[in-house]
Structure 1
Amino acid sequence: MNIFTRNRWLLGFLLVVVSCLLIVGCSSNEKAKTAEAEKPTESLEKDKAAIQAVIEKQFNGPDNRYRQLWDAATAIQTANMNEEQYDAWLKTPEYNALIDYMNSTYASYFTENAYETFRNTDAFLYSYSDREYKLTTSAIEITQSEKERTLYPFTFQVMYENESGETEIVDFEGQAIVPVAGKIGKIQFNNQEKLLQKIEE
């Protein structure tokens, strides 16, 4: 093999090697890009599903099982409990059944700290009243903020029906922060007073 032929062979071999490296590199980049694209999509779906589940559980109702457990727990609670009596009440089967039901309804959709806040403030807010009424959610729209990917503004409607069968639509809007896939870190509902007032009329 003369020098010219050998150089052509080496050049051809090098071109093949470089081509293979480029193909492998492009393939790896495409896989990486695909993985990056799939992860946000999967997270987005989990985030929206968690928000929608909380909206539906909170605003479809009232939750009669919660009412029963609440009534059972508060029936054994007295107005002037001292600290020892209150601590004993927290250990009763009735109170623990109530807390267990609240946890099983909402806890899986929140981070731990966020759930504690929600449970002590908004959870089952529309099931406390002993009046006869019905709430039904519809038109739930959840979008992801373009500037902050963990922020999700949302809107929805609640149809309120009183014991006489009269109905009224109440519009809601709010936002949720979801720092971990499918786990709400904070959720806020605006204009809650209007529906609460309708229930108590």
Structure 2
Amino acid sequence: MTKNNNKAKPIIFLSLMLIISGFLIAACSKVDAEDTNKETIKKVLEHQFTGPDEQFVELFNKDDFTELGKYYTEVYGPYFIESAFDSFISALGGQYPTLATHNGYKLSLKNITIEQSEKNLYLYNFIAKVGCQKNGVEEKTASVEGIVLFSEKEKGKIEGFRYMNDNGLSEILGTSN
């Protein structure tokens, strides 16, 4: 009996190690996906709330919508599924950079907090602290809150993006004085 028992111990040990390794790999994959999704959100928010950059301002001032469309595709396209990209650009993508450019403000992203939903692993909430300044006047800040839904089919791509509350940022950027 002891000979069989001695042979069984390594097999049991190897089996346990394989099971533990499987759990660790699965856990690391979830963390990697979460980190990738958070990085994607950060990139989109950086483009939204830093600048506006010179290329955007130039295209905006030219009223060249074809080139502006190409710009949006280059800047935001890699982060969205196709249908979400179209709705983001038509509803939100140009909102803050356009207001800032039109009224002479510079935007700066100060801080981002991103949390994954416990109920839906594809859903994230964010708060972006944004500074805006015009002509050397004291900088004003606002915390922009929103949600981002990632695609289950196209990993790492945004399926839905919505600002829930900009806490007055639109009003600040809408003033020309």
Could you state the TM-score of these two structures normalised by the residue count of structure 2?
0.86
**Cα gap change, 1:192 to 1:178, in 2 (>3 Å):** same
Q: Give yes or no for the alignment of 1:125 onto 2:73.
A: no
In the alignment, structure 1 residue 189 sits paired with structure 2 residue 160? no
Q: Deviations over 1:111-162 (max 9, x none)?
A: 2221121122111212224221111111211011122211111112111112
- Is 2:54 aligned against 1:107? no
Instruction: Return the alpha-carbon distance in structure 1 between the equivalents of residues 106 and 5 of structure 2.
Output: 74
Gaps of 5+ in 1: 1-10, 75-93
Aligned residues between the structures: 171
Find out whether 1:20 has 2:10 as its counterpart: yes
1:198 Cα deviation (Å)? 1.4
1:102-181 matches, cutoff 5 A: 102-129=72-99, 130-180=102-152, 181=155
Structure 2 unpaired stretches of 5+: none
Pair 1:64-2:34 in alignment: no
Q: 1:22-61 residue pairs with structure 2 within 5 A?
A: 22-61=12-51
Contact persistence 1:63–1:124 (CA under 8 A): no
- The farther-off stretch of 132-141 and 36-45 is 132-141
SS where residue 185 of structure 1 aligns? Answer: strand
Runs of at least 4 residues of structure 1 off by over 4 A? none
How far apart are the structure 1 equivalents of 2:83 and 2:13?
48
Q: Distance in 1 between matches of 2:23 and 2:45?
A: 34
Aligned equivalents of 2:146 and 2:140: distance in 1?
A: 20
- Taking the aligned partners of 1:153 and 1:127, their CA distance within structure 2 comes to 22
Contact 2:48 2:96 in 1 (8 A): yes
Distance 1:99 1:115 in 2: 11
Contact map agreement 1:48 1:182 (CA 8 A) in 2: no
Structure of greater Rg: 1
Q: What is the identity percentage for the equivalent residue pairs of Structure 1 and Structure 2?
A: 24
Task: Write the distance in 2 (CA, Å) between the matches of 1:150 and 1:142.
Answer: 13
Partner SS state of residue 149, structure 1: coil
CA RMSD of aligned residues (A): 1.9
